[in-house]
Structure 1
Amino acid sequence: MQYSKIVGLGHYVPERVVTNQDLSEMMDTNNEWIVERTGIHERRFIDPKMDTVANMSAKAARMALERANLNVEDIDFIILATITPDYFFPGSGVLLQRELGLESIGALDIRNACSGFIYALSTADQFIKTGMYKTILVIGAEIQSTALDLTTRGRNTAVIFGDGAGAAILQASGQPGILSSHLHSDGRYAEELYVKDPGSSRPHAERQPEQITDTSTFKVHMNGNMVFKHAVVKFHEVIMEALDANNLAKESIDMLIPHQANLRISNYIQQKLGLPDEKVYNNIMRYGNTTAGSIPIALSEAWGEGKIKTGDLVCLAAFGSGFTWASSLIRW
Structure 2
Amino acid sequence: MGKINAIITGIGGYVPDYILTNEELSRMVDTSDEWITTRVGIKERRILTEEGLGTSYMARKAAKQLIQKTGVDPDTIDALIVTTTTPDYKFPSTASIVVGKLGLKNAFAFDFEAACCGFLYTLDVAASMIQSGRYKKIIVIGADKMSSLVDYTDRATCVLFGDGAGAVLVEATEEQNIGVQDSYLRTDGSGLPFLHMKAGGSVCPPSHFTVDHRLHFLYQEGRTVFRYAVTYMSNDVMEIMKRNNLSAENIDWVIPHEANRRIIEAVAKRAELPLDKVLINIDHYGNTSAATIPLAIWDNESRLKKGDNIIFTAFGAGFVHGASFYKWAYDGDKVAGAK
Give the alignment's TM-score, normalised by structure 2.
Answer: 0.92
Give 1:209 shift: 3.5
**Partners in 2 of 1:289 and 1:212 — Cα distance?**
26
For residue 285 of structure 1, the aligned residue among 277, 283, 295 is 283
Give 1:51 shift: 3.6
State yes or no: 1:161 paired with 2:157: no
Higher mean Cα deviation, 249-258 or 126-135?
Answer: 249-258
Letter of the aligned partner of 1:315 in structure 2?
A: I
For residue 296 of structure 1, the aligned residue among 287, 294, 300 is 294
**Partners in 2 of 1:99 and 1:328 — Cα distance?**
32
- Structure 2 equivalent of residue 179 of structure 1: 181
**Partners in 2 of 1:174 and 1:243 — Cα distance?**
24
- Secondary structure of 1:266 counterpart: helix
**Partners in 2 of 1:228 and 1:126 — Cα distance?**
31
Give 1:230 shift: 0.9
- Structure 1 equivalent of residue 333 of structure 2: none
Higher mean Cα deviation, 188-197 or 154-163?
Answer: 188-197
Give 1:50 shift: 6.5
Give 1:148 shift: 1.6
**Partners in 2 of 1:50 and 1:212 — Cα distance?**
23
- Structure 1 equivalent of residue 332 of structure 2: none
For residue 319 of structure 2, the aligned residue among 306, 323, 330 is 323
Give 1:186 shift: 1.2
Give 1:213 shift: 5.0
Letter of the aligned partner of 2:290 in structure 1?
A: A
- Secondary structure of 1:160 counterpart: coil
Letter of the aligned partner of 1:280 in structure 2?
A: V
- Structure 2 equivalent of residue 254 of structure 1: 252
For residue 232 of structure 2, the aligned residue among 227, 234, 253 is 234
Aligned length: 324
Contact (CA 8 Å) 1:58, 1:96: kept in 2 or not? yes
Deviation beyond 6 Å, 4+ runs, structure 1: none
- Secondary structure of 2:292 counterpart: helix
- Structure 1 equivalent of residue 23 of structure 2: 21
**Partners in 2 of 1:164 and 1:225 — Cα distance?**
25
Contact (CA 8 Å) 2:112, 2:118: kept in 1 or not? yes
Encode CA deviations 1:206-244: one digit per residue, 9 max, x unaligned. Answer: x35356453422111111111111111111111122222
- Structure 2 equivalent of residue 263 of structure 1: 261
Give 1:174 shift: 1.1
Q: How does 1:129-140 map to 2 (within 5 A)?
A: 129-140=131-142
**Partners in 1 of 2:4 and 2:70 — Cα distance?**
20
- Secondary structure of 1:164 counterpart: strand
- Secondary structure of 1:86 counterpart: coil
Q: Cα RMSD between the aligned structures?
A: 1.5
Letter of the aligned partner of 2:315 in structure 1?
A: F
Give 1:53 shift: 1.1
Give the alignment's TM-score, normalised by structure 1.
Answer: 0.94
Letter of the aligned partner of 1:174 in structure 2?
A: E
Letter of the aligned partner of 1:190 in structure 2?
A: L
**Partners in 2 of 1:3 and 1:123 — Cα distance?**
13
**Partners in 2 of 1:70 and 1:213 — Cα distance?**
45
Give 1:163 shift: 0.2
- Structure 2 equivalent of residue 66 of structure 1: 68
Letter of the aligned partner of 2:306 in structure 1?
A: T
- Structure 1 equivalent of residue 92 of structure 2: 90
The verdict on how the C-alpha distance between 1:126 and 1:164 changes in structure 2, with shifts beyond 3 A counting, is same
**Partners in 1 of 2:183 and 2:272 — Cα distance?**
22
Contact (CA 8 Å) 2:313, 2:323: kept in 1 or not? yes
Contact (CA 8 Å) 1:14, 1:51: kept in 2 or not? no
**Partners in 1 of 2:261 and 2:152 — Cα distance?**
22
- Secondary structure of 1:218 counterpart: coil
**Partners in 1 of 2:69 and 2:252 — Cα distance?**
22
**Partners in 1 of 2:323 and 2:110 — Cα distance?**
20
The verdict on how the C-alpha distance between 1:61 and 1:251 changes in structure 2, with shifts beyond 3 A counting, is same
Q: How does 1:25-104 map to 2 (within 5 A)?
A: 25-49=27-51, 51-103=53-105
| Identity level (%) | 39
**Partners in 1 of 2:324 and 2:105 — Cα distance?**
31
Contact (CA 8 Å) 2:240, 2:323: kept in 1 or not? yes
Higher mean Cα deviation, 75-84 or 187-196?
Answer: 187-196
Letter of the aligned partner of 1:163 in structure 2?
A: D
- Structure 2 equivalent of residue 244 of structure 1: 242
- Structure 1 equivalent of residue 4 of structure 2: 2
The verdict on how the C-alpha distance between 1:282 and 1:50 changes in structure 2, with shifts beyond 3 A counting, is farther
Contact (CA 8 Å) 2:238, 2:271: kept in 1 or not? no
Gaps of 5+ in 1: none
**Partners in 2 of 1:50 and 1:10 — Cα distance?**
23
- Secondary structure of 1:249 counterpart: coil
Structure with the largest fraction of helix: 1
Encode CA deviations 1:114-170: one digit per residue, 9 max, x unaligned. Answer: 00001100000000000121000001000011322112xx11010000000001110
